[in-house]
Amino acid sequence: MSEVPEGVDVVSRARGAPRPTATMTLTRDGPEGVEVLLGLRAKTMRAFPNYWAFPGGGVSSVDRAAVEAIPALAGPEAASIACIMREMSEELGLLPSGAGAVALEPTARLAIVKDKKQWLPLALEGAFPVERTHIQTLSHRITPPFGPVQFDNAFLHLHLGDWTNVPDIDLEPQTEFTEVMWAKPVDILVRWKAHEIKVAPPVVTLLMEIERTLERCERDMNKAASDIAERLPGRRSILFAHGVEVVPIKTATLPPADHTNCYLVGDPDGDFVLVDPAVRMREDMEALATAVDRHRGDLIAVLFTHSHSDHLADMSLLKEAFDVPVWGSEYTARSVPCERILTDGEQLRLGEQTWTVLITPGHHPGHVCLFSDAGLVAGDMVAGIGTILIPPHTGDMNEYIEQLERLKALKPHLVFPSHGPVIAIPDRLIEYYITHRMARHDRVLDAVREGVSHLQDIAAHAYADTPDAHPGLAVDQTLSHLLAHQKAGNVKQLKAEWQMVE
């Protein structure tokens, strides 16, 4: 984002209780060991598109009604278990049965795919079994505060026994998954660490927990699941990629965001840096210190992407916890003392990982991004929630768009923004940013060409297609476009009026 312009109020958003969701970890005894089922989410999905994830979804009124109507669902996590049975019916065409699973009759499945409300009447008719005996709860995790809504997810588990007894999965009727795979947890993690596949962050940490527990339990999944279910481990790390862990920090940034992402970037077993540890409250500092202590590597520096206030820390508070050098660009060093000045193109060797420094002005002078095979630590070049502002007097719209083109050409595996969740399909989002800003750029110039001369009137013309835009932000960003056009020699300012250059 950026510093909030004058006249724009920053209000804290009260979040309601987290919404309940449920996912199912299905395992089986494969020919070479325990395997887990993951599905590749379609690129059209809002959450984690093109990611490998567990089947599941949100607990609905259908699921709560099922708990009331079906005695077999009674017990702990009843609504979550009803939810996951319905989701398995739709997404996989499978249902729990005894110590395994059975395939759903195609007509019943198609009815549920068309209308999830059909699950309950079909269940009451006995169209399929409703058995919860062997389902266990492995963990509960509340999603990070990246957006206005949080989710409380129940990670459920069902072991299906020998792989030869597990029904085939037909994806044809549904649209959430484009493919599924059965694989050993360790093999999935190896591919994830090599950035070959994208795996949803909570799935990664649960697979790590399963693999660790299997080692202690003689590779017996039933024993491992009982061990995990007894401990109910909570969230420890939020791993956006191998070598990229995030800790959200409460900040006064531009709504709807109200956190800035601090990243632990570097080798999990070697050197790493803290990027944008914008701590101003002791509670956040302690949470960050806990994450650093948990990390197996060595913290060697604090790095600031730029000097907007929602990215900088209370340095005296920060130094209490982390007595390490500060790195930043030459421009950032004007606001906070930096022991190392970063330059465009230099390589940061962090254990076994190498990250390239990119100086990407436009949003702010001296703005820094970091790039590697894992993806792009993007600072405020793009956002996972909300928008990016280009401040009129320290930003530069022309440079910003040029730098977006540069980032797009890198084809990053993932993008790790300063605000909001990880960006799963970077090329699509960056292209949207470029197209959107260029269209607005043209509308501002068109307004002046048509004789609209006062800033507020030009803003009204340029934002006519966005009636919900905050008036103050619209004027602020219109001025940024005008200054960029002025720099390019397209317009000129005479007192309070803007005119085309003849």
Residue 287 and residue 281: Cα distance in Å, rounded?
10
Left (φ > 0), alpha (ψ -120 to 50) or beta: where does 495 sit? left
Looking at residue 148, its pLDDT comes to 67
Question: In this structure, are 293 and 195 located in the same domain?
Answer: no
Question: In this structure, are 248 and 214 located in the same domain?
Answer: no
Question: In this structure, are 264 and 149 located in the same domain?
Answer: no
**Is 417 among the domain residues?**
yes
The token duo for 437 is 């800003």
Over the range 152-179, which residues count as b (16 or more CB within 10 Å of their CB) and which as e? bbbbbbbbbbeeeebbebebebbebbee
Question: In this structure, are 308 and 410 located in the same domain?
Answer: yes
Rg (CA), the chain: 26
Which of residues 393, 424, 455 is at a domain's end? 424
Question: In this structure, are 275 and 407 located in the same domain?
Answer: yes
The pTM of the full predicted model, rounded to 2 decimals, is 0.92
**Is 162 among the domain residues?**
yes
Looking at residue 399, its pLDDT comes to 97
Provide the total of helices (H) and of strands (E) in the chain, helices listed first: 13, 23
Looking at residue 13, its pLDDT comes to 43
**Is 10 among the domain residues?**
no
Q: Are 111 and 91 in contact (CB under 8 A)?
A: no
Which of residues 231, 257, 288 is at a domain's end? 231
Question: In this structure, are 205 and 252 located in the same domain?
Answer: no
Which of residues 400, 424, 448 is at a domain's end? 424
Question: In this structure, are 278 and 202 located in the same domain?
Answer: no
Tell me the pLDDT tens digit for each residue of 364-408: 999 999 999 999 999 999 999 888 999 999 999 999 999 999 999
Residue 129 and residue 165: Cα distance in Å, rounded?
17
25 alpha carbon, distance to own chain's centre: 21
Looking at residue 214, its pLDDT comes to 98
CA distances to 274, 279, 280, 360 from 286, in Å: 14, 9, 11, 31
Looking at residue 1, its pLDDT comes to 55
Looking at the structure of the chain, the number of domains it has is 3
**Is 460 among the domain residues?**
yes
Question: In this structure, are 320 and 444 located in the same domain?
Answer: no
**Is 434 among the domain residues?**
no
**Is 12 among the domain residues?**
no
Between 426-449 and 397-410, two packed helices, what is the crossing angle to 10 degrees?
Answer: 160
**Is 43 among the domain residues?**
yes
Q: Are 383 and 473 in contact (CB under 8 A)?
A: no
Give the CATH number of the domain where residue 455 resides: 1.10.10
Q: Are 108 and 128 in contact (CB under 8 A)?
A: yes
What is the signed CA dihedral for 443, 444, 448, 451, rounded to 10 degrees? 60
Question: In this structure, are 55 and 122 located in the same domain?
Answer: yes
**Is 403 among the domain residues?**
yes
Q: Which of 416, 430, 403 is nearest to 260 (CA)?
A: 416
Question: In this structure, are 419 and 290 located in the same domain?
Answer: yes
Which residues, 6 or more positions from 468, have their beta carbon under 8 angstroms from its beta carbon?
none
Provide the residue-wise pLDDT of the chain in tens; the chain has 502 residues.
Answer: 555 444 333 333 445 788 999 999 999 999 999 999 999 999 999 889 999 999 999 999 999 999 999 999 999 999 999 999 999 999 999 999 988 999 999 999 999 999 999 999 999 999 999 999 999 999 999 988 876 678 999 999 999 999 999 999 999 999 999 999 999 999 999 999 999 999 999 999 999 999 999 999 999 999 999 999 999 887 678 999 999 999 999 998 877 778 999 999 999 999 999 999 999 999 999 999 999 999 999 999 999 999 999 999 999 999 999 999 999 999 999 999 999 999 999 999 999 999 999 999 999 999 999 999 999 999 999 999 888 999 999 999 999 999 999 999 999 999 999 999 999 999 999 999 999 999 999 999 999 999 999 999 999 999 999 888 889 999 999 999 999 999 999 999 999 999 999 8
Question: In this structure, are 281 and 348 located in the same domain?
Answer: yes
Residue 474 and residue 471: Cα distance in Å, rounded?
5
Domain span including residue 388: 239-424
Q: How many Cβ atoms are within 10 Å of 320's Cβ, its own excluded?
A: 13
Looking at residue 5, its pLDDT comes to 46
Q: Residue type at 365?
A: P
Give the CATH number of the domain where residue 366 resides: 3.60.15.10
Question: In this structure, are 221 and 246 located in the same domain?
Answer: no
Between 185-193 and 201-216, two packed helices, what is the crossing angle to 10 degrees?
Answer: 130
Looking at residue 228, its pLDDT comes to 96
Give the CATH number of the domain where residue 102 resides: 3.90.79.10
Looking at residue 172, its pLDDT comes to 92
Q: Are 136 and 22 in contact (CB under 8 A)?
A: no
Q: Is 161 helix (H, G, I), strand (E, B) or coil?
A: strand
